[in-house]
Amino acid sequence: MIEMKYMIKINSLILILVLVVVNTVAQTKDSWPIFRGDQRLTGVSEASIPTSPKLLWTFKTGDNIKSAPVVYKGKVVIGSTDGFVYCLDFNGKLLWKFKTNNSIEAPALIHDNMVFIGNLDGMLYGLDLNTGKKLWEYECENQIIGSANWWSDGNSTYVFVGSYDFFLHCVDAKTGKLKWKYESDNYINGAAACANGKAMFGGCDGFLHVVDVATGKLDEKIDVATYVAGSVTIDDEKVYIGDYDGQFFQVDLKLKKKAWTWENETTHLPFIASPALLGNRVLTGNDNKFLYCFDKSNGKKLWEYNTGSRVEASPVIIDNKVIVANMRGDLAIVNLSDGKPVWNYEIGSQIIGNPAVVDNHIFVGAFDGNVYCFGGSS
């Protein structure tokens, strides 16, 4: 009996360790599998980038690109408003493309050698990463703008995505079969972040929703804002959010309320971009042209950088640098420490989706329909 008890305890510990590993898969230096890099949507890359990146190649799609690229195992996946999903290699060669019946504005998710991506018809597709073959499709009742995210219980993988039908939809990753739907009170525009088995998103209803991924049941619904257009970022028991009225704030999940709020008293323009978070710093861009860096603990503004045009693409942090893009088509790198610019490239066509950053490569899509690849030696 004693041996049996020990075996049960050991097996339980192994299961716990497996679950911890499964649910803390980090973005690595050679992958960027979801539009903010990881499940918590922190916008941090483990990669190195050149001091002065060079344009290596461009690839032309059939229409505007509003989607953000994702990268895994040497493959770059991006959607276009021409309705196609494109998969390219690191030399800009087309590996495959998949046709859908409407525009694609949502970034893709790559997980377990599958691509998950939605379009404006409200169709969520599960595709084979290597071939582009459709494995399944799932239909929402309105358009999908935000990226899907995932969570696993160790047995099956849950893929969830928000829609303009007010629902957060959760399907089985392998089959596309519905597991559950959670109804909010308005459109869901951004992606849901994921941590500790909870999906968290801000919607156009002005609430932060915390949903248990295993059951689809609501844990918390916290009144935070008027309209949240972007995605949230999770840091332990804290969530960072920007709203359409120009407020940026931290929500304390334990206290179930805002811990601090910052706003520009003169502009009051929307935060469309999603935050990036590293160490004690949280960054985001605003429609007033500025990239902001705050102390995450108290909301004190540490620095600001005027990009020259509206910032709707989310910033990406790489070591001690930050990449930011704007609606004029400028791609810039600034210091994380003080916001001083160190590199700039004028694409000249508006950029809405944030870059994907892997070792010595920066991929970004623009409104001119091109995918741009920058790189070089670090």
Tell me, which fold does domain 2-46+68-314 have in CATH?
Answer: Methylamine Dehydrogenase; Chain H (2.130.10)
What pLDDT, on the 0 to 100 scale, is given for residue 3? 44
pLDDT single digits (tens) 96-137: 999 999 999 999 999 999 999 999 999 999 999 999 999 999
pLDDT exceeds cutoff 70 at 349: yes
Q: How confident is the model at residue 225 (pLDDT cuts 50, 70, 90)?
A: confident
pLDDT exceeds cutoff 70 at 10: no
What pLDDT, on the 0 to 100 scale, is given for residue 7? 41
- Contact between 273 and 230 under an 8 Å Cβ cutoff? The reply is yes
Distance of CA 336 to the CA centre of its chain: 20
pLDDT single digits (tens) 35-90: 999 999 999 999 999 999 999 999 999 999 999 999 999 999 999 999 999 999 99
- Contact between 143 and 167 under an 8 Å Cβ cutoff? The reply is no
Q: Is the pTM of this model over 0.85?
A: yes
Q: What is the mean pLDDT of the chain?
A: 93
Give the C-alpha separation, 160 to 179, whole Å: 9
Residue identified by tokens 């741009």 is 372
Over the range 254-284, which residues count as b (16 or more CB within 10 Å of their CB) and which as e? eeeebbbebbbeeeebbbbbbbbbbeebbbb
Up-side HSE of residue 280: CA atoms within 13 Å toward CB? 8
